[in-house]
Chains A and B, each alone.
Chain A
């Protein structure tokens, strides 16, 4: 991961430039641009939240009257319990399976030297480089023909395609950091392979597993395209898919109702993100491929 590359910290004297006109202009431009982006972002999210509590809202700064009616309407519009259950089931199942099959592969990529390692690396990279819709349409067609259309199993399977390599490439640098001498020492002191793994490797790798896990969880939670291709029935929809359905069927529903749905979706993702930020740095959300 390029983002985990070493960041050079310059000595204090070199980092703080003299207060000059150009330095000030740079500062204004930088914080202005980033600030504008972030203010717009927060305002966008706020409008959705405010609108979901509005009776009506036209051409004014704030709606004249508030109501919680849209949230009670939401319960009639959607089977919210099922949507939440589906979303969490898909996210958790995908993450756990991806970790289970990704971890050994990451271990191999981090530790072993063997022929065709490059080929294996390339094979795992492939699903991350090819955009989801390119392979998603034939794969979804296949899954639907196999009778997995509209089933949570099908949704988990299709989401595992980008998530498994994602997990592998996050875990690999973490495993590389564990000193192989520790494993060797443990083996030399008489522990078996399995015991060495359980007592030495696994505890040292826990931060990596947590990082990969929470990032995979957040990504699967917000995943739309692939889930949408397989979620052919209403009972298999996730929050993101249901939200897209509501938003694209504009005119059928009041916009406040769609936004109430958006708030439920947003609260769920935000909860996950807050939990995720305990374990990972914000930059780790940006998965970048090692530059080789």
Chain B
């Protein structure tokens, strides 16, 4: 028998110190989750009787409810992709620091700290038909009629972009500025163009970060709630899953049904995240193999 030094079995000290947080997460997160699961698998308010999938079936069999899935994707996916695609060149430019960096990042966190309700409310004035944005575009002669930028799909896209773009940008910037510049310099010195250096050196290194940023941003956009109500059209164009779930639980007073919709939303997100991470691993492997060939 080879006697391998193992990690200590159970550290009582560690257990004791982490106990408050552990108990809290179990009591307030795991148990309610199980409570919700049980609730969603029963009909009625008491959660009694046999287990049934009827809440989930009711949702999927009702096209006026389940169309929210497609709507939510239409809302969440474009703005997520757009934020990522915009962030990469901007972060690339900024990777070694720029002038006014602290000033710029301070202003960028403004929407994060204001919160989503405030962002939506301020959009109603500024992007409204008579707001400054339309006035400015009309003044420079770009448009004749004011654009309808709120109370529709584009309103929610703008709100989500303002709210979440700084998050994506600063995150990708973090990954980008963590790359050792010697790698880039070596690649350039060996004759690769800036373009090729980006795709062969920088892109594979930031890919894991981009995938994480995509996932976190997508999850945030997928569960949009106040913006979809305030600057969207919550009855049709932006009737996203969180609105449907909230209405079921609070307005129709059917928490079991609302929880079933909320869980459906969570499962869809989970599947998207798994897919993206799987793609990331494939792409990472492909780029390593490609670079290895020296092609």
Where chain A touches its partner, the secondary structure class is: helix
Q: Are B209 and A134 in contact (CB under 8 A)?
A: no
- Check B21–A291 contact: CB distance below 8 A: no
Residues of A within 8 A of B (CB): 2-10, 14-15, 26, 29-30, 33-34, 37-38, 40-45, 47-48, 51, 57-59, 61, 100-102, 104-105, 107-109, 112-117, 120, 123-124, 126-127, 129-142, 157-158, 160-161, 164-165, 168, 218, 221-225, 229, 240, 243-244, 247-248, 255, 258-259, 262, 265-266, 269-270, 272-273, 277, 281-283, 285-286, 288-289, 291
In the complex, what residues of B have CB within 8 A of residue A288's CB?
171, 174, 212-213, 216
From A243, which residue of chain B is reached at the shortest CB distance? B117
Given contacts A102-B21, A224-B226, contact A141 B36 (CB under 8 A): yes
> Chain B contact residues (Cβ within 8 angstroms of A): what range?
35 or more
CB distance from A153 to the nearest CB of B (A): 12
Is A10 touching B108 in the complex (CB atoms < 8 A)?
no
| B residues near A137, Cβ cutoff 8 Å | 36, 245-246, 249, 255, 258-259, 262
B106 and A282: CB pair below 8 A? yes
Contact with A along B221-233 (1 / 0, CB 8 A): 0110110011000
Question: How distant is the Cα of A147 from the Cα of B166 in the complex, in angstroms?
Answer: 39
B21 touching A105, Cβ below 8 Å: yes
Could you list which residues of chain B lie within 8 angstroms of chain A, going by C-beta atoms? 7-11, 13-14, 17-22, 24-26, 28-30, 32-33, 35-37, 39-40, 86, 89-90, 93-94, 96-98, 102, 104-127, 130-133, 135, 162, 165-167, 170-171, 173-175, 177-181, 185, 208-209, 212-213, 216, 219-220, 222-223, 225-226, 229-230, 242, 245-246, 249-250, 255, 258-259, 262-263, 265-266, 269
Bound form: Cα–Cα A216–B255 in Å: 29
**Which residue of chain A is the closest to B234 with respect to CB atoms?**
A248
Chain A residue at minimal CB-CB distance from B138 = A59
CB < 8 Å neighbour of A164 from B11, B25, B119: B25
Contact of A142 with B25 in the complex, beta carbons under 8 Å:
no
